[in-house]
Structure 1
Amino acid sequence: MEIDVPKYDRNIGLQLCWHPGFSIKVSSDNSEVTISANREGLLSMASHLLNLAQADVLPGTHIHLDEYNSLEDGSQSMIIEKV
């Protein structure tokens, strides 16, 4: 299995790779958060996490996802941030 992780460029910022057909839903119940995804969604999330983990990516860099930006309808918003 290969996961595409674009090399980080400070002049461009993060470049997210989405696998065709991805589906990701985020829900929460009390103190638990559930991320539900198909194979393509999981591969996309893995790429995003590896993207943030690159050495040149500065702390505070983040990815904001919600139902209007890549997540399924009815999803809770989610922020993934490098610290």
Structure 2
Amino acid sequence: MVPVEVEVTAYDPVLGVGTWWEEDTALRAEVWDSPEKTVVISGNPAGLVSLARHLLTLAQESVPDGRHLDFDTYCGWLEKGSTAIRVEVDKR
């Protein structure tokens, strides 16, 4: 095991979920169709650390059910040509 430290912003009920991207982030999401549908997320180290931060931010106990983050090319979070992704809290 190797300990990894990733800072996240504490959830704020007024401001919502807040997070940020590492400088020079490159992240792509694709759906491959063979032999079955597979979601492929690839990125450079900065992009993968940023994605981890976003997921850990949503994973905080204080984040309510249904909160989500959308990853798409419109906001510049994913590289052009990527498939949009929504990551949502489901506390069932």
Unaligned runs of 5+ in 1: none
Query: CA-to-partner distance for each residue in 1:55-83, whole Å, 9 max, x for gaps?
Result: 11011100001111210000000000110
1:81 aligns with 2:83: no
- Paired residue for 1:29, among 24, 28, 32? 32
Structure number with larger C-alpha Rg: 2
Q: Is the 8 A contact 1:4 1:17 kept in 2?
A: no
Determine the C-alpha separation between the residues in 1 that align with 2:20 and 2:5: 12
Unaligned runs of 5+ in 2: none
Match of 1:48 in 2: 54
* Cα RMSD after superposing both structures: 0.9
Question: TM (normalized to structure 1)?
Answer: 0.95
| AA aligned opposite 2:85 | M
Determine the C-alpha separation between the residues in 2 that align with 1:61 and 1:12: 12
How high is the sequence identity, in percent, across the aligned residues? 36
Aligned residues: 83
Match of 2:10 in 1: 7
